[in-house]
Structure 1
Amino acid sequence: MPQSAPLHLIPVGLGDSPANDWLPTHVQALTRELTVFIAENAKTARAFLKLIGTATPLQEITIHTLDKRGNKPGEIREWLKPALAGQAIGLVSEAGCPAVADPGAAVVALAHDMGIAVRPHVGPSSILLSLMASGLDGQQFAFHGYAPVDSAARAKQIKQWESTSQSLKQTQILIETPYRNQAMFATLLQTLKPGTRLCVARGLTTPQEWVHTASIEQWRERRTPDLDKIPCIFLFLAGR
């Protein structure tokens, strides 16, 4: 009976920058040898593999794509079966670390259920990088993903998160679709209390990287940063 092979969790870049800046060379070498991948987005997965380089022609590499609405467990199990026969599989996100705020978590769960070894590899996580650089509480924090799109609902949700932040002394972390970054920043300045500290982490690991933390009161006195269409993470911690 063949020995099973692992599911490799391979981080993808957060933007346009050389792979050597954010992915260890041994992870790049391992990735080049894989011929089966499970990806959040096939197009971005191919761009990632083209950047890294592959030992097998790209057109001969199998890329299974996760459905945003969710895949049936039986379908994912079929994708993972080659690992039981000794063929290693790579799992990649659209950006950053797979299975962290990412649909790949369902793949990892099924891999464990099937007895397939799971190997996480070092690489960029916008959530952790922004928290590291923020100067906010790194012991207690919560990642919420996206706030509501509706302006009234968004402001209400942000106030609720600020209340939680104050009561638990917990850093709140959220993201926004890049073209709505400026609107999100404006909402945060309008909604949060003057003493709450806000960090904006823009374009991490790219030439556009910029991270700054200040109180809402201080932010209101400064020029609005250029956040349009650049991936950003927003973090805030309520004052006591």
Structure 2
Amino acid sequence: MAKLYLIPTTLGDTTIERVLPPDLTHLISSIPVFIVENIRTARRFLKKVNPAIVIDDLTFFELNQHTEKKEISRFLEPNKEGLDIGIISEAGCPGVADPGAEVVKIAHTKNIQVVPMVGPSSILLALMASGMSGQNFAFNGYLPIKNPEKSLQIKMLEKRMQTEGQTQIFIETPYRNAQLLDELLKNCDPQTMLCIAADITLDTEFILSKPIAYWKTHIPDIQKRPAIFMIGKI
């Protein structure tokens, strides 16, 4: 029976061998149909996985914020013909902070077997390295862009962390990292622990957990770098 494979990708310009197991690279080479966020970057990734792949022999469906929901079900039609399908995110794991979840939801209604493959997740890697609770945590995605909504959300997440001991994880568009850090420093208690994890799995990787009071005098250069932010207890 044909399957739907969830294929993690590298988190940046790093080698395939560093983050993806050999079995996955062999599997990718055998899949004829892909659902991707961006066809151009997906093609580049596939060539990086296996330079011998003939890109023109593959079928691509593009899934992003511009895709109409009524089109998504059509992307799974090759499965009826016995063809395996792979979902490729722009970075990291499909279905996690990623539109691929919509495809997976439809696949379950059609009784298509969904197979998650091993690969890097910036969210989990950052949590592992933070020293914060991995028993009780929440991923909140993107915080509001503007105030007062952003500052209110930060205070709410901090209160949840304090009362429930729940690590709060969130992300930001890289070019707004500095603004988010500034809001965290303004709104959080000086003793609240903040972990900043940037460029995970890359040679420039930066992961550090310190109190808000520390960050106020040690501002890291994280602007335009993919980053994960966490507040919690250590």
Normalised-by-shorter TM-score class: over 0.9
1:235 partner SS: strand
Asked if 2 retains the 8 angstrom alpha-carbon contact of 1:32 and 1:54, the reply is: no
Higher alpha-carbon deviation: 142-151 or 120-129: 142-151
Partner SS state of residue 163, structure 1: helix
Gaps (5+ residues) in structure 1?
none
Q: Measured at CA, do residues 34 and 55 of structure 1 come closer, stay the same or move farther in structure 2, by a change above 3 Å?
A: farther
Q: Which of 79, 98, 111 is matched with 2:107 structurally?
A: 111
Distance 2:20 2:74 in 1: 29
Match of 2:156 among 157, 160, 182: 160
Number of residues of Structure 1 aligned to a counterpart in Structure 2 = 234
- After TM superposition, the score normalised by the length of structure 2 is 0.95
- Return 5+ residue gaps in structure 2 as ranges: none
Identity %: 45
1:35 corresponds to? 32
Deviations 1:154-205 (A, max 9, x none): 1111011111111211111111111111111121111110111000001001
Task: Tell me if 1:220 matches 2:197.
Answer: no
Matched-pair contact (CA < 8 Å) for 1:195–1:238: no
Aligned-partner Cα distance in 1 for 2:160–2:23? 41
CA contact (8 A) 2:133 2:232 kept: yes
Q: Give the conservation status (yes or no) of the 8 Å contact 2:94–2:100.
A: yes
Aligned residue identity for 1:146: Y
Q: What amino acid maps onto 1:50 in structure 2?
A: K
Change (3 A) 1:17 1:104: same
Q: What residue is the counterpart of 1:23 in the other structure?
A: 20
Q: Superposition pairs for residues 1-240 of structure 1, below 5 Å?
A: 4-53=1-50, 56-73=53-70, 75-221=71-217, 223-237=218-232
SS in 1 for 2:195: strand
The code of the aligned residue for 2:148 comes to: A
Moved more, 46-55 or 133-142: 46-55
